[in-house]
Structure 1
């Protein structure tokens, strides 16, 4: 069986979905089932990121937008001899001139949730793209029960497989040269309302002089009126923006604590990566985080700044609690392997249930 994977999310400045695509390609290559990569965009994946995981890398959107999907992508899939095409997002499906098996991953349905603060145009676009996926896919993969439930609510009645992602082992470099000498709090994620960064900003402000230095890694995405960034600046947050993967992992591995205040996630890579590195995690108690992290995090039940300030202060000052969280985190993260993720994806590609 020949598999083509759309690696577009791994091009440019990638976040969680890009991480998923890269790790999936690596896991499949390690299982002696390398994929052919196809992508849209002016730039392919950064040098070396997928070179050893993909048998080929081909750009398909030279005509732009839907013509690329409907005309060029089917041609590339035929030329590659692909039997299966995997769309790792609602990025789109190939035109009907290609008749192979289509598998899609739906990370989450955030734009459809009331109060998501996305624009009406973005909501309409997501609805159209998800509808196209549902009309063509033979199976849909979701990284959590929450995502699977949302796809069912949208109207999909076909096969859904819940596959938790895997975490790659990464060699961590030295402490970043520009890091402060004191233990610091880290948050990771795009700046947008659902990430809850305004909650951390208010919690840090409430802690006053006892607050740890706060570092944030992640690009701007959707910050209405700039209110989130303003709150982060006011609380003294050092915003690094997007940083390359190796540098991001160095900041993560040397952090005293990772905070995960998101109100909605499809899966949530940063807390698992933190646990893999032995970094304690304080997370908001939402269903998907409970599903992924189990009892390995310090849970905060609300979005109230007072509760977050208390939880951060407690873990930062209690060395024993940090060691306990780190140990439980390592044990939990060890279950999320690339080999298991690749094996379960291969089962879906072959039309088998995981």
Structure 2
């Protein structure tokens, strides 16, 4: 079958975990011999950042992104086929839902905007609501990365009979001692550190992470932040709460992340709401001890191989971190369990379940 895969997220200012998941899925689909994938995106004058270059040919429609998204959602045009030629199926990999004559499969990563509308801009809310409504009307199947996202979709009126849970995968990296030393030296990481990886935006819960680290009686431990500045958070004000003990590294390429995970005394990811929580799985795959949220999608990912805490409680986050920092042997044991659990999440499995959904949508 020939499938058109929307890849516009690769050009977003903050690609995030959704773009990473789409690229890894595309790579896994390319490795198969039962599906041909062509990407589709808006008009761009430049390629995406090197870390987000798609592994498949990309057909570009004539409109720039904002105009394309508006046209898709208001007019259902231009159709995907205007750029790709005939396709058997269109897979909208996010909530920008394209027009097409072919059957439609949509990936919904999460519907966080419904629970926390204040975390999105006015334009973002309108866009998300329209995309969700188009998904409800037109998608033959809706793929979600977790049961948490499946429940959100049901609450939004998408029947369970059209939902398929397709978890994301991870590719563990082999990290050498030289790479660990290089990353520490380049980023001047001389002390034990708690690592946070994620876009700086409200649902990632970074203010409570900062407060939790500040509450620890461990002046030798610093907080290392990795991720692009997003929206509705004042990063400067957050950093001021932890003077001399926080280092913001900004967005880093994937090759830097694996050694950072492995060198971390703990990884903190107590997000308020996630569709999946890819940094949790990436950290686990490198054997890092993780503190993450109970009662969210990240608990589905972590199972019993992470410290689960109430994400709205600074005391709970601090206690989770302190337990790992105070007992390195227990932290190492947790990291080994995490690595073992992460081994069950592969992109090949994600691709297998995705292709099964394609076939089902075409019957």
Q: TM-score, normalised by structure 2?
A: 0.88
Residue 230 of structure 1 corresponds to which residue in structure 2? 237
Task: Indicate how the Cα distance of structure 1 residues 188 and 302 shifts in structure 2: closer, same or farther if over 3 A, else same.
Answer: closer
SS at match of 1:270: helix
| Equivalent residue number for residue 163 of structure 2 | 160
Structure 2: tracts of 5 or more residues without a match: none
Is the aligned partner of 1:139 residue 2:145?
no
Number of the residue aligned with 2:259: 250
Q: For the residues of structure 2 that align with 1:41 and 1:322, how far apart are their CA atoms? A: 48
**Given the alignment, which residue of 318, 321, 334 partners 1:312?**
321
- 1:330 deviates by 0.7
CA contact (8 A) 2:191 2:220 kept: no
Residue 83 of structure 1 pairs with residue 85 of structure 2: no
Q: Which moved more, 1:339-348 or 1:313-322?
A: 313-322
2:119 is aligned with 1:117: yes
Contact 1:86 1:104 in 2 (8 A): yes
Structure 2 Cα separation of the partners of residues 275 and 209 of structure 1: 24
Quote the Cα distance in structure 1 between the aligned partners of 2:333 and 2:62: 49
Measured after TM superposition, the shift of residue 34 of structure 1 is 4.3
Aligned match of 1:27: 28
Query: 1:320 offset after TM fit, Å?
Result: 1.4
Q: Map Cα deviations across residues 224-258 of structure 1 (whole Å, 9 max, x no partner).
A: 5x2x5412332132112222222233322322211
Q: Is the 8 A contact 1:278 1:329 kept in 2?
A: yes
CA distance in 2, matches of 1:48, 1:285: 31
SS at match of 2:77: helix
- In the alignment, the residues of structure 2 paired with residue 24 and residue 211 of structure 1 have an alpha-carbon distance, to the nearest angstrom, of 40
Q: Deviations over 1:70-98 (max 9, x none)?
A: 12533123x2x31111111101222xxx3
Give, in whole Å, the separation in 2 of the partners of 1:117 and 1:50. 29
The match for 2:151 is 149
Q: Residue 257 of structure 1 contacts residue 279 of structure 1 at CA under 8 Å; is this kept in 2?
A: yes
- Per-residue displacement from partner, 1:10-29 (whole Å, max 9, x unpaired)? 23542100111111011111
- What corresponds to 1:272 in structure 2? 281
1:167 & 1:232 partners in 2: Cα distance?
Answer: 31
The answer (yes or no) to whether the contact 1:211–1:313 under 8 Å persists in 2 is no
Shift in alpha-carbon separation, 1:334–1:40, aligned structure 2, 3 A: same
How far the C-alpha of 1:345 sits from its partner, in A, is 0.1
Change (3 A) 1:21 1:61: farther
- Identify the range of structure 1 (203-212 vs 303-312) with the bigger mean alpha-carbon deviation: 203-212
1:140 Cα offset (Å): 0.4
1:169 Cα deviation after fit: 3.3
Deviations 1:139-162 (A, max 9, x none): 100111111111111112351101
Q: Is residue 284 from structure 1 mapped to residue 287 from structure 2 by the alignment?
A: no
- In structure 2, C-alpha distance between the alignment counterparts of 1:37 and 1:318, rounded to whole Å: 48
| Whole-angstrom distance in 2 between the partners of 1:125 and 1:38 | 19
Dislocated runs of 4+, deviation >6 Å:
none
CA deviation vs aligned residue, 1:77-124 (integer Å, no higher than 9, x gap):
3x2x31111111101222xxx321110000111111146533344322
Give the Cα–Cα distance (whole angstroms) in 2 for the partners of residues 259 and 61 of structure 1. 42
Alignment correspondent of 2:172:
169
Shift of 1:165: 0.5
1: CA distance, partners of 2:230 / 2:216 = 27
**1:5, 1:37 within 8 Å by CA — same for their partners in 2?**
yes
Cα distance change, pair 61–270 in 1 and its aligned pair in 2 (3 A):
farther
Query: What's the CA shift for 1:41?
Result: 5.2
Give the secondary structure class of the aligned counterpart of 2:78. helix
